[in-house]
């Protein structure tokens, strides 16, 4: 492990900087903390706006942007091999020094200004103020909130720092990336202008929308085709039918499965009244018509993304259960209605884990939240010799921090012997804003490499173009899309 000197503002440091230090210590590094003179206060308008939003959204936990009285200075046990400049203005040193840029600025206020203006900021890790050694494109889940959105960004600043330090310690730090052009430092006037001109109108529109409409309501689409599907053509095309729902709950994350000559569709089943989803199955009759959905798996925590597959003489389900803090594998004891928890594969806030067999090993691609921020921007990969494990994290984890392609949106698709595609969620326009297809370029125990996503063309007869899941089994292909559904009178 490394001996690290972390430089923080002497006055008004922020919680995200303290969390970064704690994460580095948890990784086993010898961490010294040194103060950098100079005020780091944010403008009063930003502090007041964030306090207002924390109350509005009933967030009791302090925001990562919250100002602290101080972060206590302390010495390390050895001379520093690496410095982290979290103050943004540390003096030059012979010790390699990594700093962060938020849209090109060393001030974390620039992240708040970008989010307030409705932008998704880029974070760059820069070595000795000249060499880009890492970057992150954080996801912002609540676009209407400057405070919650800024926390999402600062959470990934912590993730990026820990990742860069790990890469430095292991001798695999990037050093050939191109830096973006900076926007300059943030000012009180810039924040006030962005907040008044962009955040407040977004907040108002969202409040009005939620009065009349469900916060989110997904609908599942399905079709039976013998021709190449969406992954092959790159477009949705036509022939889609909408799986009916009663309006007081929705269906999403469809995974088709063929068994004994019949088609089944497993879905997330989300009752609006409870706010906790279960897994349901939709059998199809011989004519291709869906039967009534029925619940097949329920837990005390939220379930979704019910990836169902056959292996080793059994049928398995690998649903997302990030709220439980673990990824649990289930085995069908009486398909399709009875499922038994077989084993825990991975601990952590793992979302949308997607299985692949490749190169004689099994792989899981997923996102990991790590306590703060979005569930949709940090790709992690695990591998194992068998389904039961042991599952080991890839040395590159996190493989990327990128709202455009980190979160899987369906099972891997084999186009031919040489091409494997992964549907990925694109959060540029918000959660569920779109879906792309990434080609797996390289995968082994040292390297993970995906192509840039190719957006799926939503032209056709599917009425809900904001999609975030694509799957196919046999002739049955399924997608989902978010719909505007009015609240029922007198009900929330």
- 388 to 142, 191, 268, 304, 362: CA distances (angstroms): 36, 51, 24, 21, 10
Identify the band that residue 487 occupies on the pLDDT scale cut at 50, 70 and 90.
Answer: confident
Are 61 and 140 in the same domain? yes
Give the integer Cα–Cα distance in Å for 100 and 358: 36
Chain mean pLDDT for the chain:
94
Give the integer Cα–Cα distance in Å for 420 and 429: 26
Are 45 and 119 in the same domain? yes
Answer with the one of 165, 189, 211 that is the final residue of a domain.
211
Identify the band that residue 416 occupies on the pLDDT scale cut at 50, 70 and 90.
Answer: confident
What's the CATH code of the domain at 176? Answer: 3.40.50
Residue with tokens 């950098």: 36
Give the integer Cα–Cα distance in Å for 261 and 92: 69
Are 232 and 109 in the same domain? no
Does the CA dihedral 110-111-114-117 come out positive or negative? Answer: negative
Are 86 and 191 in the same domain? yes
Number of structural domains (the chain) is: 2
Q: Which residue, 354, 352, 349, 297, is CA-closest to 323?
A: 349
Are 78 and 175 in the same domain? yes
Q: Which residue, 22, 401, 91, is CA-closest to 83?
A: 91
Are 108 and 235 in the same domain? no
What is the rounded average pLDDT of the residues 86-92? 92
Are 233 and 147 in the same domain? no
Answer with the one of 190, 211, 232 that is the final residue of a domain.
211
Assess if residue 136 is contained within a domain.
yes
Residue 489: per-residue pLDDT: 47
Identify the band that residue 490 occupies on the pLDDT scale cut at 50, 70 and 90.
Answer: very low
Q: Which residue, 246, 191, 190, 253, is CA-closest to 220?
A: 253
Assess if residue 251 is contained within a domain.
yes
Residue 132 pLDDT > 70:
yes
CA atoms within 13 A on the CB side of 160: 32
Residue 492: per-residue pLDDT: 36
Assess if residue 435 is contained within a domain.
yes
What is the rounded average pLDDT of the residues 453-459? 96
Residue 219: per-residue pLDDT: 97
CB 44 within 8 A of CB 52: no
Give the integer Cα–Cα distance in Å for 132 and 99: 10
Residue 233 phi/psi, 5-degree rounding, is: -90, -25
Identify the band that residue 183 occupies on the pLDDT scale cut at 50, 70 and 90.
Answer: low
Assess if residue 357 is contained within a domain.
no
Are 182 and 268 in the same domain? no
Identify the band that residue 184 occupies on the pLDDT scale cut at 50, 70 and 90.
Answer: low
Answer with the one of 176, 211, 246 that is the final residue of a domain.
211
Residue 491: per-residue pLDDT: 40
Residue 418: per-residue pLDDT: 85
Are 170 and 263 in the same domain? no
Assess if residue 488 is contained within a domain.
no
Identify the band that residue 327 occupies on the pLDDT scale cut at 50, 70 and 90.
Answer: very high
Are 95 and 114 in the same domain? yes
Identify the band that residue 180 occupies on the pLDDT scale cut at 50, 70 and 90.
Answer: low
Residue 380 tokens read as 């992690």
Give the integer Cα–Cα distance in Å for 279 and 276: 10
Residue 370: per-residue pLDDT: 87
Assess if residue 236 is contained within a domain.
yes
Residue 182 pLDDT > 90:
no
**The pTM of the whole model exceeds 0.75:** yes
Question: Whole domain around residue 448: which residue ranges?
Answer: 215-312+371-376+392-482
Assess if residue 406 is contained within a domain.
yes
Are 196 and 116 in the same domain? yes
Residue with tokens 């469900």: 214
Are 184 and 222 in the same domain? no
Assess if residue 364 is contained within a domain.
no
Report the DSSP beta bridge partners of residue 424. 408, 436
What is the rounded average pLDDT of the residues 392-402? 97
**pLDDT > 70 in the chain, percent:** 97
Which tens digits make up the pLDDT trace of 156-178?
Answer: 999 999 999 999 999 988 766 66
Residue 319 pLDDT > 50:
yes
Residue 79: per-residue pLDDT: 93
Which tens digits make up the pLDDT trace of 199-235?
Answer: 999 999 999 998 998 888 999 999 999 999 999 999 9
CA atoms within 13 A on the CB side of 49: 28
Which tens digits make up the pLDDT trace of 41-64?
Answer: 899 999 999 999 999 999 999 999
């Amino acid at each position: 492990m490394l001996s690290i000197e972390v430089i923080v503002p002497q006055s008004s440091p922020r919680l995200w900087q303290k969390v970064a230090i704690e994460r580095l210590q948890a990784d086993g590094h010898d961490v010294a903390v040194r103060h950098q003179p100079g005020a780091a206060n944010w403008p009063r308008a930003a502090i007041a706006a964030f306090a207002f939003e924390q109350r509005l959204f009933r967030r009791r936990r302090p925001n990562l942007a919250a100002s602290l009285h101080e972060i206590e200075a302390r010495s390390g046990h050895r001379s520093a091999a690496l410095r982290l400049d979290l103050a943004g203005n540390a003096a030059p040193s012979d010790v390699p020094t990594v700093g962060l840029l938020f849209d090109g600025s060393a001030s974390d206020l620039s992240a708040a200004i970008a989010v307030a203006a409705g932008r998704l900021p880029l974070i760059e890790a820069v070595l000795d103020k000249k060499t880009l050694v890492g970057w992150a494109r954080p996801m912002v889940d609540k676009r209407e909130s400057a405070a919650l959105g800024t926390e999402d960004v600062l959470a990934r600043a912590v993730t990026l720092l820990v990742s860069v330090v790990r890469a430095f310690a292991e001798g695999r730090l990037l050093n050939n990336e191109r830096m973006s052009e900076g926007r300059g430092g943030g000012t009180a006037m810039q924040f006030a202008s962005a907040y008044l001109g962009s955040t407040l109108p977004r907040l108002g529109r969202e409040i009005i929308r939620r009065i009349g409409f469900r916060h989110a309501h997904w609908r599942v689409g399905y079709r039976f085709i013998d021709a190449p599907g969406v992954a092959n053509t790159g477009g949705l095309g036509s022939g889609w039918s909408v799986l009916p729902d009663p309006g007081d709950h929705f269906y999403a994350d469809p995974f088709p499965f063929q068994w004994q000559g019949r088609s089944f569709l497993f879905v997330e089943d989300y009752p609006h009244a409870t706010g906790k989803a279960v897994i349901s199955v939709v059998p199809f009759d011989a004519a291709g018509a869906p039967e009534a959905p029925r619940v097949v798996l329920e837990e005390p925590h939220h379930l979704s993304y019910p990836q169902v597959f056959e292996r080793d003489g059994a049928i398995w389900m690998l649903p997302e259960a990030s709220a439980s803090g673990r990824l649990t594998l289930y085995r069908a004891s009486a398909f399709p209605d009875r499922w038994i928890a077989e084993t825990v594969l991975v601990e952590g806030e793992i979302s949308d884990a997607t299985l692949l067999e490749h190169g004689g090993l099994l792989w899981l691609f997923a996102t990991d939240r790590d306590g703060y921020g979005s569930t949709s921007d940090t790709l992690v990969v695990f591998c194992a010799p068998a389904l039961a494990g042991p599952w080991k994290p890839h040395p590159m984890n996190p493989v990327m921090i990128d709202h455009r392609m980190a979160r899987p949106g369906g099972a891997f698709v084999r186009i031919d012997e040489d091409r494997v595609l992964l549907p990925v969620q694109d959060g540029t326009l918000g959660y569920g804003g779109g879906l792309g297809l990434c080609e797996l370029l390289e995968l082994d125990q040292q390297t993970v490499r995906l192509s840039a996503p190719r957006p799926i063309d939503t032209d056709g007869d599917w009425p809900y173009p904001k999609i975030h899941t694509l799957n196919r089994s046999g002739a049955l292909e399924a997608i989902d899309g978010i719909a505007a559904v009015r609240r029922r009178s007198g009900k929330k």
